[in-house]
Amino acid sequence: MRILSFIKGYRRDAFLAPLFKLSEAVLELFVPIAVASLIDTGIAGNNLGYIVRMALLLVLLGVVGLAVSVTAQFFAARAATGFAEKMKSALYAHISSLSELDRDKIGTNTLITRLTSDSTLVQNGINMFLRLFLRSPFVVVGAAIAAFTVDAHLSIIFVIVIPLLSVIVALIMSFTIPMYRKVQNSLDNILSRTRENLSGVRVLRAFGKEEDEKNAFEGDLASLNDLQNSSGRISALLNPLTYVVINLAVIAIIYGGRARYEASLIEIGAIVALVNYMNQILVELVKFANLIVTMTRAIASGRRIEAVFAIKPSMTDKENAAEEGIDGSDAISFSSVSLTYREGGEPSLSDISFTIRKGEKIGIIGGTGSGKTSLINLIPRFYDATDGSVSVFGIDVRDWKRSALRSRIAVVPQKTRLFSGTVRSNMQWGDQRAGDDEIRKALEDADALSFVMDKDGAFDSTVSAGGKNLSGGQRQRLAIARALVKDAPILILDDSFSALDFKTESKVRHAVLSTDKTVLLVSQRTGAMMSMDRVIVMDKGRVVGIGRHEELLSSCPIYREIYTSQYGGDNENS
């Protein structure tokens, strides 16, 4: 497995843990020897001093065993948790490096399960593996070798039994790994529905869907339960099968032993010794069986994690990607751009070409689903065009270093999203170094200053996840302010005034337009288009008109329709 490389940095721990575990097993071998000599030499020889010495030796073995085993547990725990920490960190980084499209494909829910539940299972697996993987084979093979020294002939049974047990373990693992993977997939559904019932609580309760959701969830639970039971059923075979195989081996030893005893080739004592060695294997394998289940689940989960690592980001920075634009070039230019989201679906954008000069204030207008958001999503390279090319400051967005490109573009998305923290921490998304003055200015321009100052703690007042403790209008203002804090040369507002009243909207719009930034303003309202340098009119994924408001009124029927829909009849702005 490739993820095993995360053990790097914990190699020493991962090496020492099993080694100490092994020493513990070796020490355990001395206990019966010490006791035997206590009986043979001490008692038989009536040697009181020897008995006490041997007893002290037993204590010493116990103390050393304790120290060795505690050390082993520590190294195992440190290697396992350290491994998991590194793996999760890398997984998170990998997820961050994926493009919007990649993430849409895999889905947020399963990413959460893989970063939590699956990662924990892998951590447990590594921990158990380090504790037992050297120890158990050592005891098993050691017992077999010891058996050979007693009677090579009968020890053939050991040679048959050990591979047989390995085959059983391998078979059960190969059956259950895919099953445990299905269990985890099913857990994704549990998580998904829980998450959905939290995020959609208002709509679901408004429609009284509680009962339906409960039934659907119970369906999810039932199928999880089925999968757990069927994988558990096979895993539950492991211990009994091991037990039967080993005890049949014991019977074989006795049976074969009897024949050899009759032929005077072996002593009774030797038969007993062989049986004891077989029992040692049994005791060890019972422990090992628990490890196997943990390991199987860890492998299944590890594969799920690897599947995420295996997704190559569909968008990467080229080598020597540009970090600066070309002086004197246009701000944005589209050349025959098309975009299709869904395979087999109709294109969301087709054959779009236009150029925006630096400092221009551009309005974008068009019907619902006409491709406005799709168009602006291409500029910071959230998505790549299916055909054609998009350039920013004279350089194709695919040749830009994405972080450099995005540092030049501030976007206020249509769907506002704030993050848990404070007003300040949210503002500093725009600029980590932004101080009170910058934040104050941005909040003021976004008409958010007064309500922020009204809150306990003002800039340091709490914002809960998604900004749920704020009203829709307040969230939108903060999102605008966040973009203003960023102070990028290109500002994109994607229908960002929808939750603002007119008064606020015109105020904010004026503040935004009175800079030398290149501004793209998506809006439904022709009123907002009047003050723009040029307006791009979109319809069904195509640009159907570009020009000033007055020009478009005469040249672009769609624009005129939109205008009439707002300024028709009673000549009312709405």
Partner 1 sequence: MKTAEYAKTLRRMLSYIRPYRFSLILSILTALASVLAMLIFPLLTGRAVDAIGSGDLSEFLRYVALMAISASLTAIFQFVQGLFNNRMAFSISRDMRKDLFHKINRIPLSYIDSHPHGDIISRMVNDVDQVSDGLLMGFTQLFTGVITILGTLVCMLSVSWIVTLVVVLVTPVSLFTASFIAKRTYNLFYRQSEVKGEQTSLIDEMVSGASVVSAYSMEEENQKRFDKINHSFAKVSLSAVFYSSLTNPVTRFVNSLVYMGVALSGGLSAVYGLMSIGGLSSILTYASQYTKPFNEISGVVTELQNAIASASRIFALLDETEEKDESALPVLSSADGNVGFHSVSFSYRKDRPLIEDLSLETRKGMRIAIVGPTGCGKTTLINLLMRFYEPDSGYISIDGKDIASFKRTSVRKRYGMVLQDTWIKKGTVRENISLSKPDATLSEVKRAAELCHIDNFIASLPLGYDEMISDEGDGISEGQRQLISIARIMLSDPDILILDEATSSIDTRTELLIQDAFARLMEGRTSFIVAHRLSTIKNADLILVMKDGSVIESGNHGSLIEKHGFYYELYNSQFA
Residues 533-552 contacting partner 1, CB under 8 A: none
DSSP one-letter code for 409: E
Q: Is 272 in the site for partner 1 (CB under 8 A)?
A: yes
Q: Is 82 in the site for partner 1 (CB under 8 A)?
A: yes
Task: List 352's β-bridge partners, or say none.
Answer: 337
According to CB under 8 A, which one of 149, 342, 433, 550 is a site residue for partner 1?
342
According to CB under 8 A, which one of 135, 303, 406, 534 is a site residue for partner 1?
406
DSSP one-letter code for 347: P
From the CB of 368, what's the least distance to partner 1, in Å?
Answer: 3
By residue count, the chain amounts to: 574
According to CB under 8 A, which one of 37, 197, 422, 531 is a site residue for partner 1?
197
Q: Are the beta carbons of 461 and 439 closer than 8 angstroms?
A: no
Nearer to partner 1, 156 or 191 (CB): 191
Nearer to partner 1, 77 or 355 (CB): 77
CA distances in angstroms from 513 to 49, 218, 263, 449, 555, listed in the order given: 99, 54, 106, 19, 25
According to CB under 8 A, which one of 15, 74, 133, 309 is a site residue for partner 1?
74
Q: Is 353 in the site for partner 1 (CB under 8 A)?
A: no
- Judged by CB under 8 A, the stretch of 160-168, 391-399, 434-442, 564-572 that binds partner 1 is 564-572
According to CB under 8 A, which one of 355, 386, 389, 414 is a site residue for partner 1?
414
Q: Which of residues 300-329 bind partner 1 (CB under 8 A)?
A: none
3-state helix, strand, coil in the chain (%, to 5): 65, 10, 25
Q: Are the beta carbons of 512 and 519 closer than 8 angstroms?
A: yes
According to CB under 8 A, which one of 398, 517, 525, 534 is a site residue for partner 1?
525
From the CB of 328, what's the least distance to partner 1, in Å?
Answer: 25
Q: Which residues have C-beta within 8 Å of that of residue 498, sequence separation ≥ 6?
A: 414, 476, 524
Q: Is 343 in the site for partner 1 (CB under 8 A)?
A: yes
The phi and psi torsions of 91 (rounded to 5 degrees) equal: -65, -45
d(CA 560, CA 557): 5
Q: Which of residues 471-500 bind partner 1 (CB under 8 A)?
A: 471-474, 477, 482, 486, 495, 498-500
Helix spans in 455-501 (H):
472-486
d(CA 113, CA 238): 28
Nearer to partner 1, 303 or 406 (CB): 406
Q: Which residues have C-beta within 8 Å of that of residue 288, sequence separation ≥ 6?
A: 132, 136
In terms of DSSP bridges, do strands 409-412 and 490-494 run parallel, antiparallel, or are they unpaired? parallel
Helix spans in 38-155 (H):
48-97, 100-106, 108-113, 119-132, 135-150
Q: Is 565 in the site for partner 1 (CB under 8 A)?
A: yes
Q: Which of residues 101-160 bind partner 1 (CB under 8 A)?
A: 103-104, 107-108, 111-113, 115-117, 120, 123, 127, 131
Helix spans in 151-209 (H):
156-199, 201-206
Nearer to partner 1, 232 or 357 (CB): 232
According to CB under 8 A, which one of 386, 389, 506, 515 is a site residue for partner 1?
506
Q: Which residue has tokens 């080993």?
A: 246
**The pair of three-digit structure tokens given for residue 524, joined into one six-digit string:** 């439904």
Q: Which of residues 49-68 bind partner 1 (CB under 8 A)?
A: 51-52, 54-55, 58-59, 61-63, 65-66
Q: Are the beta carbons of 522 and 493 closer than 8 angstroms?
A: yes
Nearer to partner 1, 144 or 278 (CB): 278
Q: Is 199 in the site for partner 1 (CB under 8 A)?
A: yes
From the CB of 3, what's the least distance to partner 1, in Å?
Answer: 16
Residues binding partner 1: what is the number (CB under 8 A)? 178
> What is the side-by-side order of every strand in the sheet holding 395-396?
349-356, 332-339, 387-392, 395-396
Q: Is 460 in the site for partner 1 (CB under 8 A)?
A: no
According to CB under 8 A, which one of 236, 311, 511, 553 is a site residue for partner 1?
236
From the CB of 92, what's the least distance to partner 1, in Å?
Answer: 5
Nearer to partner 1, 126 or 162 (CB): 126
- Judged by CB under 8 A, the stretch of 2-10, 235-243, 350-358, 544-552 that binds partner 1 is 235-243
Q: Three-state DSSP class for 394?
A: coil
Nearer to partner 1, 155 or 496 (CB): 496
